[in-house]
Amino acid sequence: EAGVTQSPTHLIKTRGQQATLRCSPISGHTSVYWYQQALGLGLQFLLWYDEGEERNRGNFPPRFSGRQFPNYSSELNVNALELEDSALYLCASSLPGESKNIQYFGAGTRLSVL
């Protein structure tokens, strides 16, 4: 069974540009979560999508946004990039129902903002 896949692996952008990160969940998983892992700050929750709807967002500015497609894959968009957006962005997915709380993580996209 394929795990959560994220693309690209690495992304280099300059300040002010936009970045788009992609995530494909495990087959059958309907929820997708995005986390930011910045150096020294640990894993911070960004966004949660379930059945195409945004269910919750973390304490991040509105320039962090995303969406979930009908096939449950997801995009994270970061507009007007700032240097401090440089981080590893992790996507996770979970099953519907009672096992919803077990999240399976992708390998991440490393975003570097120059």
Partner 1 sequence: AQRVTQPEKLLSVFKGAPVELKCNYSYSGSPELFWYVQYSRQRLQLLLRHISRESIKGFTADLNKGETSFHLKKPFAQEEDSAMYYCALSFTGTASKLTFGTGTRLQVTL
DSSP assignment letter at 83: G
Q: Kindly state whether residue 100 participates in binding partner 1, applying the rule CB under 8 A.
A: yes
Q: Which two tokens stand for residue 33?
A: 């979560």
Question: Could you give phi then psi for residue 97, rounded to 5 degrees?
Answer: 85, -155
CA-CA distance, 90 to 24, in Å (whole number)? Answer: 12
Site for partner 1 in 33-62 (CB under 8 A): 33, 35, 41-45, 48, 50, 55-56, 58
Question: What is the nearest approach in angstroms of partner 1 to the Cβ of residue 24?
Answer: 14
Site for partner 1 in 17-36 (CB under 8 A): 31, 33, 35
Cβ burial of 43 (10 Å; 0-12, 13-18, 19+) is: middle
Q: Provide the binding-site residues for partner 1, judged by CB under 8 A.
A: 3, 31, 33, 35, 41-45, 48, 50, 55-56, 58, 90, 92, 94, 96, 98, 100-108
